[in-house]
Structure 1
Amino acid sequence: MFFSVVIPTYNRLPILEKCLTALEKQQLKSNTAIADYEIVVVDDGSTDGTISWLVAHQPELPHVRWFEQNHAGPAAARNLGVAKAQGDFIIFIDSDLVVTAGFLQSHCDALMEGEAAIESDRLFTYGSVINTCNFDNPTAEPYKITDFSAAYFATGNVAIAKKWLQEAGLFDTQFQLYGWEDLELGVRLKKLGLKLIKCPEAVGYHWHPPFSLADIPNLIDKEIQRGKMGILFYQKHPSWDVKMMIQMTWIHRLLWGILSLGGLVNERSLAPILKLLIERGKPQLALEIARIFLNWYNVKAVYQEVRSQKSEVRS
């Protein structure tokens, strides 16, 4: 078993350093089925000196190979990484993920145990992702209920045979804005009959800066982008499951409409509460509260995109 850890990156050099260092410190069992592993970094047009840093630190990163592309988004970057990968198994993580020493071995064990259990190699493993804003010691963060994910296939921490990615057709580069390119590939993998095997022992700590009020415009923009890309997702796979995922149902419209009081609970009205929580050292709680209006922006963007496309058809 040869693993290729594919990592797209864009202007994330400080945390990328921690990401790569952790991957170079993997501890494998003496009888491991892992023959070797490589780390395939795809720089998506960074302007923060990522490539220069990789060149300067090459002796410290013996498993790392890197490739460059003009800024084209994570879907195109992951596709390039898969194309360049030498391994028969691909592990996708993000460049702001710091893994534990047993990360690779845990994915290996889960893949082998899963294949034996279901008597098929149509499977992939999905590890744990714990969110943290602790840059100095990201792996110190405990698991929280908000870290739970019900996603079938998400590229934050997943291992899969390269042949299944190739058969499914890799990531759709039409998803050029934020969101859904990995879950859309997941729908195609599910149609191939692949089974999700949970692998909680393969832990990755997803670092992000502490939430601040200055982040709100960017977060709102991401939700609007996610709404637009959600419609592309639904056009490719017009099913109730996808409608639920992209929040394109009357349930979501009613729920977030009520919680946000039709938009009255927004970034302006909640600013004093969010500011107070941040000042008291509770930025994560502030972010969870902000999701009330962020989700409302997402739902509105979904329906705005539907109306926009209907208008284009009529004209």
Structure 2
Amino acid sequence: MKWSVIICTHNRADDLGETLQAVSRLNYPAGDFEVLVVDNASQDDTEGVVEQAAAGMPHLKYLREDKLGLSHARNTGIANAAGEFVAFLDDDAAPIPAWLEKLEERFQNSRVACVGGRVKPVWRTLAGWPDWLHPRLIGYFTVIDHDDFRDFGYPCCPAGTNVAFRKAVFDEVGTFDPNLGRTGTSLLSNEEADLCVAIAQAGYRILYTPEAVVHHKVHENRLTREWVLDRSYWGGVSSAIMERRRFGAGNRVHKTLKYLALIMASESLKRILSLTDDHKKTFFWECQALFSRAFLKTLWLGHGQGNAAKGKS
């Protein structure tokens, strides 16, 4: 078996059905890849959707993981994968037909352990980019759209909705950290970044290919100020948890100085910009300040204290 495609899902049966339709159109030999759907404690008709799709996809398998958390679900998929390579796809995403072929082309060098592809947004209800949302925040919507081939290195890394690994690397560096990644409605993240740092520290390469394209839905509930602020806060928490684990004391001092300076700069810029009615930049710096505060609280107090102190102040 060459490939295992893993789709983790939680209460998105309708989106999952569309994703499985797209996966069924992959132009990779059917006998050389499997599709594993990991149902992460869903309460909807996820199992029924998979059963219906399996009638036309004999290589499709259903797995259940009742311990809530995206990292738990991904690790269950890895434990059951038979492929030489493991590719992850979100339950609300659609790969192009040549997706696996284009990912595989970048694994020719044995020192390449991870390959990520392009992620294009599908704006479900957006008539135009919101006038309050700065383009520099587009990464919060899982958009990766570089035109060139490149190596990734932290803080840049592939998106979890379009990333593949050489399965053998998990035996060497471990799998996804259950302390990171989405859990229910929590916006905790950075489980992919954490794993990619471990892979790079082990001496392997992480590559990007613009030719392996996935179209990923941006749900309407994310196009609000509240969601973007929450995403900023949890981004800071997630980055701090990961960096406490992967980097030494020198990094802690460096990042403390960096984010203290960023907080002070953000507050000054917000006051100046408030006089110009530039809502995009004002909101952008509000997000930067929130990320920085959350990062520092979590870096020095730990996750529990950082979470309790959320407060967006």
Give yes or no for the alignment of 1:76 onto 2:67: no
Q: Aligned match of 1:132 in 100, 105, 122?
A: 122
State how far apart, in whole Å, the 1-side matches of 2:93 and 2:99 are.
Answer: 12
User: Residue 92 of structure 1: CA displacement?
Assistant: 1.5
TM-score, structure 1 length as denominator?
0.74
Q: Aligned match of 2:232 in 219, 223, 229?
A: 223
Range 84-93 or range 169-178, more displaced:
169-178
Contact 1:256–1:296 (8 Å) recurs in 2: yes
The aligned residue for residue 258 of structure 1 is 265
The aligned residue for residue 3 of structure 2 is 3
Q: Aligned match of 1:207 in 209, 213, 217?
A: 217
TM-score, structure 2 length as denominator?
0.74
Query: What SS does the corresponding residue of 2:62 show, helix, strand or coil?
Result: strand
The aligned residue for residue 161 of structure 1 is 166
Can you give the 5+ residue segments of structure 1 that lack an aligned partner in the other structure? 136-143, 275-285
> Structure 2 vs 1, CA of residues 179 and 200 (structure 1 numbering), >3 Å: closer, same or farther?
same
Matches within 5 A, 1:94-243: 94-112=90-108, 115=109, 120-134=110-124, 146=138, 147-148=144-145, 151-175=156-180, 178-210=188-220, 215-239=224-248
State how far apart, in whole Å, the 2-side matches of 1:241 and 1:27 are.
Answer: 48
Contact 2:241–2:302 (8 Å) recurs in 1: no
> Structure 2 vs 1, CA of residues 303 and 201 (structure 1 numbering), >3 Å: closer, same or farther?
same
The aligned residue for residue 297 of structure 1 is 290
Contact 2:112–2:207 (8 Å) recurs in 1: no
Query: What SS does the corresponding residue of 2:72 show, helix, strand or coil?
Result: helix
RMSD of the TM alignment (CA)? 3.7
The aligned residue for residue 279 of structure 1 is none
User: Residue 60 of structure 1: CA displacement?
Assistant: 3.1
> Structure 2 vs 1, CA of residues 27 and 228 (structure 1 numbering), >3 Å: closer, same or farther?
same
State how far apart, in whole Å, the 1-side matches of 2:269 and 2:278 are.
Answer: 19
| Identical residues among aligned pairs (%) | 22
User: Residue 261 of structure 1: CA displacement?
Assistant: 4.2
State how far apart, in whole Å, the 1-side matches of 2:23 and 2:303 are.
Answer: 48
Range 198-207 or range 256-265, more displaced:
256-265
Contact 2:262–2:292 (8 Å) recurs in 1: no
> Structure 2 vs 1, CA of residues 250 and 67 (structure 1 numbering), >3 Å: closer, same or farther?
same
Query: What SS does the corresponding residue of 2:55 show, helix, strand or coil?
Result: helix
* Paired residue type of 1:124: C
The aligned residue for residue 310 of structure 2 is none
Number of residue pairs matched by the alignment: 277
> Structure 2 vs 1, CA of residues 228 and 124 (structure 1 numbering), >3 Å: closer, same or farther?
closer
Can you give the 5+ residue segments of structure 2 that lack an aligned partner in the other structure? 126-134, 139-143, 147-151, 306-313
Query: What SS does the corresponding residue of 2:42 show, helix, strand or coil?
Result: coil
> Structure 2 vs 1, CA of residues 156 and 257 (structure 1 numbering), >3 Å: closer, same or farther?
farther
State how far apart, in whole Å, the 1-side matches of 2:122 and 2:266 are.
Answer: 26
Query: What SS does the corresponding residue of 1:173 show, helix, strand or coil?
Result: coil
State how far apart, in whole Å, the 2-side matches of 1:301 and 1:95 are.
Answer: 29
Contact 2:86–2:166 (8 Å) recurs in 1: yes
